[in-house]
Structures are given as structure tokens and as C-alpha cells.
Structure 1
Amino acid sequence: MFIWMLLFTNFLILAFATFVHLFDETKMTILFFLFALIDFAFGFVFVLYMIWIYGLWGTVKKVRHDGVTNA
């Protein structure tokens, strides 16, 4: 879900920045900076989310020393 939100947001910002570029290059630079910032924020949140999910999953399914997982 996060990845689709990220891609859609990126597409919208890039499309808007390309449209604005026809009129003003300074605004386009600001929009591309915003695009990179949102990209970084989404990536950071996604990584934290994955760490939280896998951390939680690791506590739910305990792995024994022989490598067999308890259901």
C-alpha cells in the first residue's frame, strides 16, 4: 500500500512540475525538491513500518534453535 501511495504521489508531483516547467523554471526546482522530500519521508516511514512489522512477527513466531518455527 505504501509503495502505491508513494508512486502515485511521485507521479502527481512530477506531472505538475513538468506542467509548471512550461511557465517557470524556479517553481519547478522547488517542486522537484518537494518531490525528493516526500520521497525520502515515504521511504523512511516505509522502512520503519517494515522493521516494526518484522519485529512484531519475530516476537509472535518464536524460532527454536533447530530452525523450526512454532505456529
Structure 2
Amino acid sequence: MKKIAVFGKPGSGKSSLSNKLSIANDIKFYSLDCISYKSNGEKVDKAAYDESHNLILSLDSWIIDGLGTL
């Protein structure tokens, strides 16, 4: 079981680091931005975000990155 969370300011290299860690450790990478926004750019509601976030956290292994805010 491996769980890695990468947090930081926009443009700080979170996604680059997370992608490299994902490849090196063969762990799926989830960007919190991808569950925070709809495909049209609107923010998802808190319930939808919480459901997606909790599903990811329940997995045996993951890498997440983002600011972690909604």
C-alpha cells in the first residue's frame, strides 16, 4: 500500500512530480483539479467533490496532487 499526497501553490511543479512518482512507483495519479471542476470549467458541488475524493482515498494506493480546496 502506497499513498502519496503532493500539495503546493499553482505552478510549483506538483503535477510534474506526481507524474514522475506515478511512473516510478506504478501507482495511479489523481489530480484534485480534475475532480474539482466539470469539463466546462465550472466547479462541482461539495457533495460531488467529497464523493470522488473519498472514493480515491479508499483505494489501496494512490498519488494525489492539488491545493486540496473546494
Relative to the length of structure 2, the TM-score reads 0.37
Higher helix share: 1
Relative to the length of structure 1, the TM-score reads 0.37
Higher strand share: 2
Q: Which has the larger radius of gyration?
A: 1
